[in-house]
A and B are shown apart, each in its own frame.
Chain A
Amino acid sequence: MNNSANLDFFSQLDEPERLKRLTQRLTQKISRLKLGRRLRILEFCGGHTHVLLRHGIDETLSEVIEFVHGPGCPVCVIAQSRIDYALNLAEKEDIILATYGDLLRIPGSQGLTLQKLRALGRDVKMVDSSLATLKLAKDYPHRKIIFFAIGFETTTPHTAFLAKQIPQQGLKNLYLVSNHVISPIILAYLLEKGIHLDGIIAPGHVSAILGQSPWEEIAQKYHLPIVISGFEPFDLLTSLLLLVDAIEKETPTVLLQYDRVVRPEGNPLALSLIEEIFQVRETFPWRGFGLVPNSAYKFKEEWCFLDAEQIFPWEIKEENPKGCLCGDILQGKAKPWECKLFGKACTPKNPIGPCMVSGEGVCQAYFKYKLI
């Protein structure tokens, strides 16, 4: 098998000369619109935010586009009360709490993190896949394993797949907490609150699961063009060109730039798994947003035997860290440098808010790629 052709295709996506020409074309196109102001474009996904900043695309286009950074980082939007719940579970002697890495460093309301709890001797395990918890459950048959699952649609099917494995493998000591949140709902919620935008860059990998249709409803309802974009600089620049065309023609349409990965119908297998295992919660707390209706998944009744929230209930009180602007930043109302803690009390080494913890967080992107 020859893989040199494969390497070639990836290397073409950040070839400088091509990117330069795309940027010039974009600037010309927007200038020709003669708006007398910058376009306001929201990139939903934290992965996109990082590419825009890392490659200086936001700076190069700063005269023509204002990028509004969206809430598309699951670790950043997790409410402090949910972290408190995870800490509360991990403090119990008979429990091993397993979760994805980013979550370990987010402080709860008392400043404690799962990482600190682990240093204090509690059993907190980092897993790089939901199915790794199956092995934990087998290795520690006398302990209760709780998987604290988190993520948008890119990881929800993984938890659903795990849920089905638990009875199939006859495991009685593995429980799940769902913090899975729903992307199109929070985007619609932001728009409903009156955020002003000219266009939206929709998350590429979430769309690999969801397909185009949820974005089409939003495009029609709020009369906005939306483009589903990939994550290379080439992808974002061509997505912006498609978006500017649609803005010029005033067509509220959904365009698919990331067609090497996203199928218009999404991933039907993953969608049917989500449908089989999960139901929509009435409300769910989001960092900075408060309780948002229909914005997250919980397990269907028939899966109550593995639903940790039913088996280990805990009263959850919501508070935000003092002075932290993550909430406003996630709603596109503030930029990281406007936060008094940013770069001083709150750094990637000692984060206070989740936007600084996560590799997809807006504050971490500004800390890494912008001069403070």
Chain B
Amino acid sequence: MCLGYPFRILEVRSPFTALAEAKGVKKEIYISLLPEKVKEGDWVLVHVGFAIAKIDEKQAQETIKFWDEQLSES
């Protein structure tokens, strides 16, 4: 249950639900616990049917870049 899984939004179907996909599996998920709006193409983290957070892809790229720079300094 703490094993959240990243899903990509395919279609927002209502203020409460969206069709999302992870590794080829399509599933209707609930987006009503998200404090921010999501749109097609966004990544969200899903726990037992509910998206609990939006995944910030730009932030992820920056984190990877930061560590690559750190490692190249030594």
User: Which A217-246 residues sit within 8 Å CB-CB of chain B?
Assistant: 231, 234, 238
Number of A interface residues at 8 Å Cβ cutoff, please give it. Answer: 55
Q: How far is the CA of A74 from the CA of B49 in the complex (A)?
A: 17
| Contact indicator per residue, chain A 116-146, by CB within 8 Å of chain B (1) or not (0) | 0000000000001111100000000000000
A168 interfacial by beta-carbon distance below 8 Å: no
| Cβ A46 vs Cβ B43 within 8 A | no
Instruction: From known contacts A205-B47, A267-B35, A269-B33, infer whether A46 and B2 are also in contact, taking CB-CB under 8 Å.
Output: yes
| Cβ A73 vs Cβ B2 within 8 A | yes
Nearest B residue to A73 by beta-carbon distance? B2
Return chain A residues, CB-CB under 8 Å to B47.
Answer: 154-155, 158, 205
A150 interfacial by beta-carbon distance below 8 Å: yes
Q: How far is the CB of B64 from the nearest CB of chain A, in Å?
A: 5
Q: How far is the CA of A262 from the CA of B71 in the complex (A)?
A: 24
Return chain A residues, CB-CB under 8 Å to B1.
Answer: 74-75, 100, 102, 150-152, 154-155, 360
Contact of B49 among A47, A158, A263 (CB under 8 A): A158
If over half of B's interface residues share one DSSP class (helix, strand or loop), that class is named, otherwise mixed; here it is mixed
Instruction: From known contacts A155-B1, A205-B2, A270-B33, infer whether A25 and B71 are also in contact, taking CB-CB under 8 Å.
Output: yes
Q: How far is the CA of A257 from the CA of B41 in the complex (A)?
A: 24
A189 interfacial by beta-carbon distance below 8 Å: no
Q: How far is the CA of A208 from the CA of B34 in the complex (A)?
A: 11
| Cβ A131 vs Cβ B30 within 8 A | yes
Instruction: From known contacts A205-B4, A259-B59, A260-B57, infer whether A131 and B71 are also in contact, taking CB-CB under 8 Å.
Output: no
Return chain B residues, CB-CB under 8 Å to A18.
Answer: 64, 67-68, 71
| Cβ A158 vs Cβ B64 within 8 A | no
| Cβ A129 vs Cβ B55 within 8 A | no
Number of B interface residues at 8 Å Cβ cutoff, please give it. Answer: 34
| Cβ B56 vs Cβ A260 within 8 A | yes
Return chain B residues, CB-CB under 8 Å to A9.
Answer: 57, 60-61, 64
Give how many A-B residue pairs fall within 8 Å (CB-CB).
Answer: 127
| Cβ A209 vs Cβ B3 within 8 A | no
| Cβ B4 vs Cβ A131 within 8 A | no
User: Which A180-227 residues sit within 8 Å CB-CB of chain B?
Assistant: 203, 205-206, 208-209
Nearest B residue to A205 by beta-carbon distance? B4
Q: How far is the CB of B29 from the nearest CB of chain A, in Å?
A: 8
Contact of A128 among B32, B43, B48, B59 (CB under 8 A): B48
| Cβ A158 vs Cβ B33 within 8 A | yes
Instruction: From known contacts A9-B61, A161-B50, A238-B63, infer whether A152 and B2 are also in contact, taking CB-CB under 8 Å.
Output: yes
Q: How far is the CA of A240 from the CA of B17 in the complex (A)?
A: 37
| Cβ A260 vs Cβ B33 within 8 A | no
Q: How far is the CB of A267 from the nearest CB of chain B, in Å?
A: 6
The CB with the most chain B CB atoms within 10 A, among A9, A100, A152, A157, is that of: A9
Instruction: From known contacts A208-B45, A260-B57, A260-B63, infer whether A22 and B71 are also in contact, taking CB-CB under 8 Å.
Output: yes
Return chain A residues, CB-CB under 8 Å to B71.
Answer: 18, 21-22, 25
The CB with the most chain B CB atoms within 10 A, among A22, A129, A130, A360, is that of: A129
| Cβ A161 vs Cβ B43 within 8 A | no
Contact of A72 among B2, B41, B53, B57 (CB under 8 A): B2
**A-side interface residues toward B, CB under 8 Å?**
1, 3, 5-6, 9-10, 12-13, 18, 21-22, 25, 45-47, 72-75, 100, 102, 128-132, 150-152, 154-155, 157-158, 161, 203, 205-206, 208-209, 231, 234, 238, 257, 259-263, 267-270, 273, 359-360
Query: Which 4 interchain pairs have the tightest Cβ spacing?
Result: A129-B49, A260-B60, A208-B53, A269-B35
